[in-house]
């Protein structure tokens, strides 16, 4: 059994990852399940830099394989914001309601055709010595709604409209989200390489 620590305390992220990986060969643990894990400062200027920092620093500290992700929302009309500050766009880290409120306020009066946006996901796997072994990234295109729609998901999901479905991630069930989300796409790119390490 190949054991990987997923560099997050977010149980919702782990559910999505577990659904895409074979349970019989890869065991995933969250930081919450590992005593002595550290809070790694996300000091990078890009999603890729933050993912690498989180994976390598945690791996060296724990002496274990660590898969870290940095993801966020980029909105064209806002010059790419909130970007790497997505989780703390309104100030406090992880305040989804405040972040969504700020995004809606920033886009007030902006017409639909100018509300294009992307969810981005960067994954980085570090070995226990802190060496980057695998990397992957993907994005999912959409548009920002004028008001929240749906109760599912987390973060900006209730505002992110998938054009093909004319619904937000907050409105779509997990099966659909798993098929098209930025995180799932990035992980699907990583899985074949990851499985080779387990042989």
Q: What residues act catalytically?
A: 70
102 is in an annotated binding site: no
196 is in an annotated binding site: no
Question: Exposed, middle or buried: residue 69 (CB in 10 Å: 0-12, 13-18, 19+)?
Answer: buried
9 is in an annotated binding site: yes
131 is in an annotated binding site: no
175 is in an annotated binding site: no
**Residue matched to tokens 């387990």:** 198
Task: Compute CA 35 distance to the chain's CA centroid, rounded to the nearest angstrom.
Answer: 23
Q: What span, in angstroms and rounded, lies between the C-alpha atoms of 53 and 17?
A: 20
Closest Cα to residue 68, out of 14, 24, 12?
14
163 is in an annotated binding site: no
DSSP code, position 107: T
Per the annotation, where are the binding residues for substrate? 8-13, 71, 154-157, 177, 182-183
Numbered residues of the known binding site for Mg(2+): 41, 70
Question: Residues at the annotated binding site?
Answer: 8-13, 41, 70-71, 154-157, 177, 182-183
């Amino acid at each position: 059994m190949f054991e990987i620590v997923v560099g997050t305390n977010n149980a919702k992220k782990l559910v999505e990852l577990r659904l895409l990986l074979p349970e019989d060969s890869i065991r995933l643990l969250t930081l919450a399940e590992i005593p002595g894990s550290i809070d790694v400062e996300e000091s990078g200027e890009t999603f890729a830099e933050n993912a690498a920092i989180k994976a390598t620093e945690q791996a060296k500290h724990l002496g274990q394989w660590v898969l870290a992700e940095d993801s966020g929302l980029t909105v064209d009309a806002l010059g790419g914001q909130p970007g790497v500050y997505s989780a703390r766009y309104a100030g406090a880290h992880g305040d989804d309601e405040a972040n969504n409120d700020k995004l809606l306020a920033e886009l007030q009066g902006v017409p639909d055709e100018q509300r294009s946006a992307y969810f981005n996901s960067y994954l980085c796997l570090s070995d226990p010595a802190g060496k980057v072994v695998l990397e992957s990234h993907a994005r999912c295109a959409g548009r920002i709604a004028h008001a929240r729609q749906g109760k599912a998901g987390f973060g900006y999901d209730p505002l992110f409209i998938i054009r093909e479905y004319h619904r937000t991630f907050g409105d779509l069930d997990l099966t659909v989200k798993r098929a098209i989300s930025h995180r799932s796409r990035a992980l699907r790119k990583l899985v074949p390489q990851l499985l080779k390490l387990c042989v």
